Each structure stands twice: as structure tokens, then as C-alpha cells.
Structure 1
């Protein structure tokens, strides 16, 4: 029985990933930034095979905790960077845990002999920090895939900038360390939708779905999405978990970064599907998923599946 460490394994994506690895017979170590806040991870103990689950304290800025967390792991999934849109202090809330945490993590895993595979849960922002808007130079008839030059703007949201820089940190490490004993593979989901496995109220993904469903705009960013009826690329959270699992167990994917995306829909139609109504228009395919379908063998659900599940 192999051991996987999942940093961020109690979050929205992380919980589904934890569930998948437990189903597949792994011992699973999940990190908790504050072990005393049991409400953040209590739901994981109700998952099938939870007897093989262990919760450990970890702040990615703390190298000693990282060493303790990753020791004895054959696989480590790093999905522990904060996803938040309302930010007071970008450096403290986003850049330090995302970028410095990635640097610390890479340093520690490079010294951990048991590790065979590392999977980074990156973001569509590693290809386009303007998401859900198109990158500069693209129009509504264009598609985006892994061969496009990544686009980064300093005017983009701090979260997107932090994820972009963190991904470049990973790429730099891979180039500078060509003889590691482990493989690194990244996955970059677009907007992740679906039903949460927990009752946590701090999930940005669940929060966005709630806002879209009820047509609430609490800030200028969300208001802009409604006003422009922005087209949003969507992926089912279960497909993301399957992609992470597949990237973890398949060999020969070192240095790859896969876009995980299904369909793109306008906000007005996303609202309709969240309310079990028929959309006005049809789906578009902006972010291509051919590489993920071929290499990771994912059969992506249409957007209606996670949107309907969230509303149920």
C-alpha cells in the first residue's frame, strides 16, 4: 500500500482528490494549516477507507513541517495554495504561501528519497492570468492549448499572478535539476465546478457557483462578469480529481502541465444550468483538453453535470 501526501487535501478540489486516492487503496496524509480547526477536515473522516487517512499539521512556509509531512510518501500532491478573490494583503495572503511555499516544497522533496512522483495542482492562470477573460492577442474565435505562449499581466488578479509565478518556479526547478529521482507533473484546471464534499463556507469555487446561481454581485469583479456576460471555461471537480490521480500514477509525464477543461459557457447560461433551466446558447470550446484526454485518459463531463450537482 503506497502513501500519498496531499497538501490542501481538505479543500474543494483536495477533498475529491483525497476521496479518489482512498478509493484506490492508498494511505493518505492530508495537511491542515491549523490542526485545531477540525471543522476544516472533519468531513474526510466519513469517506470510504478513512481508516487509511492521517491528518497532519502543515504550513508550507515551514520546512520542518514539510519534511515531516513528505517523509515516507511515494507520491506528493501539492494543491495547498490559497484560492481567494477578496484580498487585503496580497503578499501575506497569496504571494508568500504560493511562491515561497512552492520554493520550500521543491527544496524539501529534492531531499526526500522515498518520493517517486510529484503533482502540482496549478491553475489556468499558469497559461493566462487574465482568465476568465482571454489573453492579449486572442479573440473569441481562438482556442488556447498547452502550446500557446503563457500570458501574464501585472494588472491581473494577485491570485492569478501568484499561480503564474509559482508555475514558473516549478519549470525553473525542472530545468536546473535534470537528474531528480522523481517525476513532476502539473495540472491546470479552469473554473472548477461541482458539489463540495464538506459544509465549509470558505470555498471560493462553491461561493462563485452560489453567486452565479442567485445572480449576486458582491464586488466589481463579479459585477463585471454579469455585465459583460463573460464566457467561462468550466471543469467538473471530479474530473480534476481523476486527472490528479492519473498524473500521479502514470510515468513518463515529467515536466508536463495539462490544461483540465471541459466546455465554456456564458455566465447567463451558467446561471440557468445551476437552476436546472435550459441554456439559451450552446457550449464553446476555448481551452482545449486533447492532451489531458490522451495522456491522462480523462473523459470530461459536460458542464451541465457539475452545475446540476451543485444545485441539487
Structure 2
């Protein structure tokens, strides 16, 4: 039985990844930032094969604890960067934890004796920090895939900038270490939607679904989405977990970075589908998922099915 270490394995996406590896017969170690807050990870013990689950307290800035966490892992998945839109101190809350955490993680992995495969859960922001707006001179209907040039702007949201820089850090690490004994693969999901596996109410992803379903605008960013009826590329959270598992268990994907995406719909139609009504327009695949379909053998769920599964 191999061991998979899932950093951030109790979060919205991480919980699905943890469940997938347990179901596939792995021994799974999950890191949480505060082991005393059991309400944030207790739901993991409801999963099948949870007797193979081990929860460990871990902060990425503590490299000694990080090295101890991964030393007996064959697979390590990094899903532990903060996702938040309401930010008061971007450097302290997002940039430092995301970028320094990635640097520490790469250093610790390079010392780990058993690691065979590393998977980073990045973001579409690693490709386009203006998401959901188009990249650079592109329009809303122009497609985007892994052959396009990555786009970033200093005016982008700090979360997006942090994910972009972290991805650049990983790419530079791969280039400067051409003879690694393990593979590094990245998956970059667009807006991740679906039903939470926990009862936690602090998930940004499920929170956005709640806001759009009920047309609530707590800030100017969300209000602008409604006012401009912005199109969003969406992907099912379970598909992100399945793609992560396939990336972790398929050889020959070193250095690849896969966009994970289903269709794109306007916010008005996302609202309709979250309320179990038909969208007014047909969804379009704007962020292209061909590479993930080919290399990872993914079949992405239709967005309508994903949004119908969410209920609050």
C-alpha cells in the first residue's frame, strides 16, 4: 500500500482528492494548519477506507515539520494555498504564504527519499491573472489553451498574482533541476463548483455559489459580475480530484500543466442553473480541455449537472 500526502486535504477541493485516494486503496496523510480545529477535518473520517487516514498538523513555513510529513510518501499533492477574495494585507495573507510555502515545499520534496510523483493544484490564474476577464487582447469568445502565452497584470487580484508567481516558481525549479528523481505535474482548474463534502461554511468556492444562486452582492467585485453578466469557465470539483489522481498515477507527465475546465456560461445563466432552471444560452468551451482529455483521459461533467448538485 502506497502513501499519498495531501497538503490541504480537508478543504473544498482537497476533501474530494482525499476521498479519491482512499477509495483507490492508498494510505493517506492529510495536513491541516490547526489540528485542534477538528470540525475542519472530521468529515474525512466518513469516507470509505478512512482507517487508512492520518491527520497531521502542518504549516508550510515550518520546513522541518513539512519534511517529516512527506518523508514516507510516494505521492504528494499540494492543495494547501489559501483561496480568499476579501484581502486586507495581500502580502501577509496571500503572497507570502503562497509563494514562500511553494518554495519551502519544493525544498522539502527535493530531500524526500521516497517521493515518486508531485502534483500541484494551481489555478487558471497561473495562466491568466485577469480571469474571469479575457487574457490580454483576447475577447470573451476567444479560446485559450496550453499553447497560449501566460498573461499577468499588476492590477489583477492578489490571489491571482500569488498563484501566477507560485506557478512560475515551480516552472523555474523544474528548469533548474533537469535530473529530478521524481515527476512534477500541475493541474490548473478554472472556477471550481459543486457540492461541499463538509458542513463548513467558510469555503470561498461554495460561498460564491451561494452568492450567485441568491444574487447577493457583498462587494463591488461580485456586483460587477452581475452588472456585466460576466462569463465564467467552470469545472466540477469531483473532476478536479479525478484529474489530480490521474496526474499523480500516470507516468511521463513531468513538467506538464493541464487546464481543467468544462463549459463557460454567463453569470445570469449560472444563477438559473443553481436554481434548477434551464440556461438561456448554450455553454461554450472557451478554456480548452483537450490536453487533459488526451493525457489524463478525462471526461468533464456538463456544468448544468455540476450546478444542479449544489443546494443551499
Give the TM-score normalised by the residue count of structure 2: 0.99
Distance in 1 of aligned mates of 2:225 and 2:141 = 19
Task: Identify the residue that residue 12 of structure 1 maps to in structure 2.
Answer: 12
Distance in 2 of aligned mates of 1:50 and 1:23 = 9
SS at match of 2:55: strand
SS at match of 2:238: helix
Distance in 2 of aligned mates of 1:292 and 1:83 = 23
Task: Identify the residue that residue 204 of structure 1 maps to in structure 2.
Answer: 204
Residue 140 of structure 1: how far off its partner (Å): 2.6
How is 1:1-312 mapped onto 2 (pairs within 5 angstroms)? 1-311=1-311
Distance in 1 of aligned mates of 2:65 and 2:202 = 24
Residue 311 of structure 1: how far off its partner (Å): 2.3
Residue 88 of structure 1: how far off its partner (Å): 1.0
Distance in 1 of aligned mates of 2:247 and 2:187 = 8
SS at match of 2:96: helix
For structure 1, the 5+ residue unaligned runs are: none
Question: 1:123-176 CA deviation, whole Å, 9 max, x = no partner?
Answer: 000000000111111013310000100000010000000000000000000000
Distance in 2 of aligned mates of 1:287 and 1:222 = 22
C-alpha contact (below 8 Å) 1:185/1:257 kept by paired residues? yes
Distance in 2 of aligned mates of 1:90 and 1:56 = 27
Question: 1:236-273 CA deviation, whole Å, 9 max, x = no partner?
Answer: 00000000000000000000000000000000000000
Question: 1:167-202 CA deviation, whole Å, 9 max, x = no partner?
Answer: 000000000001111000000000000000001111
Distance in 2 of aligned mates of 1:235 and 1:226 = 20
SS at match of 1:310: coil
- Runs ≥4 residues deviating over 3 A: none
Distance in 2 of aligned mates of 1:119 and 1:94 = 20
- The number of residue pairs the alignment matches comes to 312
C-alpha contact (below 8 Å) 2:140/2:231 kept by paired residues? no
SS at match of 2:72: coil
SS at match of 2:310: helix
SS at match of 2:309: helix
Distance in 2 of aligned mates of 1:190 and 1:165 = 17
Question: 1:191-231 CA deviation, whole Å, 9 max, x = no partner?
Answer: 00000000111100000000000000001000000000000
Give the TM-score normalised by the residue count of structure 1: 0.99
For structure 2, the 5+ residue unaligned runs are: none
Q: Calculate the aligned-residue CA RMSD, in Å.
A: 0.7
Distance in 1 of aligned mates of 2:47 and 2:285 = 34
